[in-house]
């Protein structure tokens, strides 16, 4: 099993190209099941989750081809992937596939909307919380689906197709909003979704569906209106830049010091997180086709945060920010409101010398003068990123185990960091 070895102490200077967003790419890929024509996705990241979902879509009848494996002049490895599902050949998504990646449960929407039936394994729990699928199933029920749960599977069927409806999500859910958008696009009549997620990834999906012939208004606001159509066509759509990758590298620069341009990204995708980073002492400015992050000559100021749905501070950056706060000159408080078990990285940061105490959903972080390298274990995707950030400044050598978590969401992380001066490498086996 691969590991990442880091020798801390180097500032970061240079350019880091930001990849396409994993959290946007996955629902866009699933949307390809809604049409028998080709959906072409530009700026696709090369990640373990993307490769896995490609295989899952193939199980349902999707063919794919890839262009753009060579490095571009700007240092990116941008890929374009074409998905074509002329026929749905299997409406069952088995446990052994869904269990490997929760987002694959979302195939229930296009399978049901296009084929009239979907039999999808319930994904079960995961390391950062239960993340139930109830809201997704409720939205499909509101659109006229009959849902039965049996032997760990959700079986969804329709008689004569889905029908538009008006409903309100009891809590904001990105996954449920994705599912509702895809299903309602092919429903008869109009659908109005209240308390919808406003994340940029939702907007990316809505823009994609509109390019395919859907009629969606209001994406990016709490109320989305969909006028159902009878069929969708192919389209060419660009995956938005990864705001979580952007924020992670911005925090790495704030942690180590230095001067880095994050290329191929946009500050409007993570305004709240960048505002918090400015409060810690980092200088952040927009540049052509990217963001410049600088921290030179001063320490890290402690800042309190609370995670919230977009446009609030992203839960997917909470762990990385905690890593940054371990070196702050004072005490900070981090409150997690999205997932109930997303502090599993605390004990691993403690192995590096961090001082963190937990009370319910709030972590109190007392900044320390020094972190010291040690072997640590990644518990999930974002936790693995905070261990890398901490390792970049820890004295001596830090070894991050279980880096397959990183490969799910960070493309060529060690290469991007080493190109900016970090002493970081992958150890295979």
On whether 19 is known to bind a ligand per the annotation, the reply is no
On whether 159 is known to bind a ligand per the annotation, the reply is no
Tell me the helices (H) and strands (E) count for the chain, helix number first: 14, 24
The answer to whether the beta carbons of residues 249 and 261 sit under 8 Å apart is no
CA distance 25 to 12: 28
Instruction: Count other C-beta atoms under 10 Å from residue 24's C-beta.
Output: 29
Coil, strand or helix at 203: helix
On whether 174 is known to bind a ligand per the annotation, the reply is yes
The answer to whether the beta carbons of residues 129 and 342 sit under 8 Å apart is yes
Residue of 122, 116, 177 lying closest to 154 (CA atoms):
122
Q: Strand runs (DSSP E) across 158-254, as ranges?
A: 166-168, 190-194, 215-217, 223-227, 235-238
Longest Cα separation, the chain? 67
Torsion of CA 40, 175, 95, 240, to 10 degrees: 30
CA distance 319 to 295: 20
Residue of 401, 398, 402 lying closest to 423 (CA atoms):
398
Instruction: Count other C-beta atoms under 10 Å from residue 166's C-beta.
Output: 11
On whether 179 is known to bind a ligand per the annotation, the reply is no
Secondary structure (DSSP) of 368-395: -S--B--EEE--SHHHHHHHHHHHTTSB
On whether 239 is known to bind a ligand per the annotation, the reply is no
Coil, strand or helix at 32: helix
Q: What is the DSSP letter of 363?
A: E
The strand pairing partners of 20, in sequence order, are 241
Secondary structure (DSSP) of 276-341: HHHHHT-EEEEETTEEEEEE-SS-PPP--EEB-STTSB-GGGHHHHHHHHTTSSSEEEEE--S-TT
On whether 134 is known to bind a ligand per the annotation, the reply is yes
Instruction: Count other C-beta atoms under 10 Å from residue 35's C-beta.
Output: 23
- Catalytic-residue membership of 126: yes
On whether 203 is known to bind a ligand per the annotation, the reply is no
On whether 102 is known to bind a ligand per the annotation, the reply is yes
| Catalytic option among 126, 198, 208, 420 | 126
Give the sheet arrangement for strand 305-306, strand by strand. Answer: 305-306, 331-335, 362-366, 355-359
Identify the sign of the CA torsion 414, 419, 421, 427.
positive
| CA 232 distance to own-chain centroid | 26
| Rg of the chain, C-alpha, whole Å | 22
On whether 338 is known to bind a ligand per the annotation, the reply is yes
Catalytic residues: 126
Binding region for UDP-N-acetyl-alpha-D-glucosamine: 102, 131-135, 171-174, 316, 338
Binding region for phosphoenolpyruvate: 22-23
């Amino acid at each position: 099993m691969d590991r990442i070895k880091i020798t801390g102490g180097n500032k970061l200077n240079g350019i880091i190209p930001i990849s396409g967003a994993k959290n946007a790419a996955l629902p866009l890929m699933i949307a390809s099941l809604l049409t028998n024509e080709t959906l072409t996705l530009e700026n696709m990241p090369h990640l373990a989750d993307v490769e896995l979902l490609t295989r899952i879509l193939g199980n349902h009848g999707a063919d794919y081809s890839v262009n753009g494996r060579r490095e571009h002049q700007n240092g990116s490895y941008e890929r374009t992937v074409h998905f074509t599902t002329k026929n749905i050949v299997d409406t069952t998504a088995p446990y052994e596939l869904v269990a490997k990646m929760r987002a694959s449960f979302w195939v229930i929407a296009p399978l049901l909307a296009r084929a009239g039936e979907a039999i999808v394994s319930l994904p079960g729990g995961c390391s950062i919380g239960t993340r139930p699928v109830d809201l997704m199933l409720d939205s499909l029920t509101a659109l006229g689906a009959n849902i039965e749960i049996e032997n760990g599977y959700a079986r969804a069927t329709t008689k004569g197709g889905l029908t538009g409806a008006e409903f309100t999500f009891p809590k904001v859910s990105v996954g449920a909003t994705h599912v509702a958008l895809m299903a309602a696009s092919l429903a008869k009549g109009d659908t109005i979704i209240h308390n919808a997620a406003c994340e940029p990834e939702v907007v990316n999906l809505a823009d994609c569906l509109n390019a395919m012939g859907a009629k969606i208004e209001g994406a990016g606001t709490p109320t989305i209106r969909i006028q159902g159509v009878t069929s969708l066509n192919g389209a060419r759509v660009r995956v938005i830049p990864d705001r979580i990758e952007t924020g992670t590298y911005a925090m790495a620069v704030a942690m180590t010091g230095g001067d880095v341009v994050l290329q191929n990204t946009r500050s409007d995708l993570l305004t709240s997180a960048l505002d918090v980073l400015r409060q810690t002492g980092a200088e952040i400015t927009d540049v052509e086709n990217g963001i410049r992050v600088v921290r030179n000559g001063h320490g890290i100021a402690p800042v309190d945060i609370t995670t919230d749905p977009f446009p609030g501070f992203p839960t997917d950056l909470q762990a990385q920010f905690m890593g940054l706060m371990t070196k702050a000159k004072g005490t900070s408080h981090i409150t997690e409101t999205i997932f109930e078990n997303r502090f599993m990285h605390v004990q691993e940061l403690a192995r590096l010398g961090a001082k963190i105490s937990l009370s319910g959903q709030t972590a109190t972080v007392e900044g320390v003068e020094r972190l010291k390298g040690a072997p640590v274990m990644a518990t999930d995707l974002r936790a693995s990123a905070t261990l890398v950030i901490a390792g970049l400044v820890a004295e001596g050598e830090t070894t991050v185990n279980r880096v397959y978590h990183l490969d799910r969401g960070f493309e060529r992380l060690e290469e991007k960091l080493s190109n900016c001066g970090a002493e970081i490498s992958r150890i295979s086996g």
